[in-house]
Amino acid sequence: MQRWTAYWFRAGGRTSAAVLRIAIGTSILWMLWRLHSIGYRPESAPHDVFRAVGILRITGEPGPALYAVVKPIAWLATLAMIAGVCSRVSTAVSFVAALVLASYECSFAPTWSHDNNAPLLAQLAFLGAHGGDAWSIDAWWRKRRGTAVPDDRAYMWSVLLVQLALAIMMASAAYTKLVSGGPTLAWVLSDNLRNQILVRFDFRGVARPPVAEWLVAEPLRWKTAAFLNIVAQLAPLAACFAIRRPLVRAALGALFVTEVIGLDVVMGFSNFHWLPLAAAFVDWDRLLRRPPPASERPTASRAARRYVAAFVICDALIAFWRWPKLDQLLNLYPLSSFPMFASIRAVPPYAEHHVYEMADVRLEVDSTPAPAPGMQAWITDQVKLHRLVNVRTRDGVREQLVAFHAAARAGFPEYAIRAVRLHLVAIEAAPYPEPARLVRRDVGIMGELAADGTFTSALAPLGRSGDRFTAATTAPLAVHHDGAVRDLATVRDGERQSFELPAPPVHVLARAGERLFLVGSR
Q: The pTM is what?
A: 0.87
In a domain? residue 446: yes
Are residues 198 and 216 in contact, defined by beta-carbon separation less than 8 angstroms? yes
pLDDT band at 43 (very low <50, low <70, confident <90, very high): low
What confidence tens digit (pLDDT) does each residue in 407-443 have? Answer: 999 999 999 999 999 999 999 999 999 999 999 999 9
Among 221-225, 271-275, 298-302, name the one with the lowest average pLDDT: 298-302
Structural domain that includes position 396:
367-521
Can you tell me the distance from the alpha carbon of 98 to that of 239, in angstroms, rounded to the nearest whole number?
Answer: 28
The reply to whether 171 and 290 lie within a common domain is yes
Q: Which of 304, 330, 356 is the last residue of a domain?
A: 330
- Name the DSSP letter for residue 253: H
Is residue 173 located within the same domain as residue 310? Answer: yes
Whether residue 478 is contained in a domain is answered as: yes
Q: Based on the domain organization, do 113 and 254 belong to the same domain?
A: yes
Please report, in angstroms and rounded to a whole number, the separation of the first and last CA atoms in the chain.
Answer: 53
- pLDDT 10s digits, 493-511: 888 899 999 888 899 999 9
Which of 61-75, 136-150, 159-173 ranks highest by mean pLDDT? Answer: 159-173
Please check whether residues 213 and 302 belong to one and the same domain.
yes
Q: Is 344 among the domain residues?
A: no
Residues 6+ apart with CB under 8 A from 228: 262
Could you please report the per-residue DSSP string of 371-423?
PPHHHHHHHHHHHHHTTGGG--SHHHHHHHHHHHHHHHHHH-TTSEEEEEEEE
* Cβ 91 vs Cβ 123: under 8 Å: yes
Number of independent structural domains in the chain: 2
Q: Per DSSP, what are the bridge partners of residue 428?
A: 357, 439
Domain boundary (330, 350, 380) is at 330
- Whether residue 98 lies inside any domain: the answer is yes
Which of 436, 503, 193, 221 is closest to 185 using CA atoms?
193
The reply to whether 199 and 139 lie within a common domain is: yes
Whether pLDDT at 341 is above 90:
no
- Separation between Cα atoms, residue 424 and residue 420, nearest integer Å: 14
Per DSSP, the three-state class of 122 is helix
Residue 342 forms part of a structural domain: no
% of the chain exceeding 90 in pLDDT? 65
Residue type, 221: R
Q: Are residues 322 and 453 both part of a single domain?
A: no
Q: What average pLDDT score do residues 6-32 get? A: 94
Query: What pLDDT score does 232 carry?
Result: 97
Burial of 207 (0-12, 13-18, 19+ CB in 10 A): exposed
Please report whether residue 360 resides in a domain. no
- Residue 111: CB atoms within 10 Å: 12
- Strand-strand pairing, 438-450 and 468-471: unpaired
The stretch 18-28 carries a mean pLDDT of 98
| pLDDT of res. 60 | 79
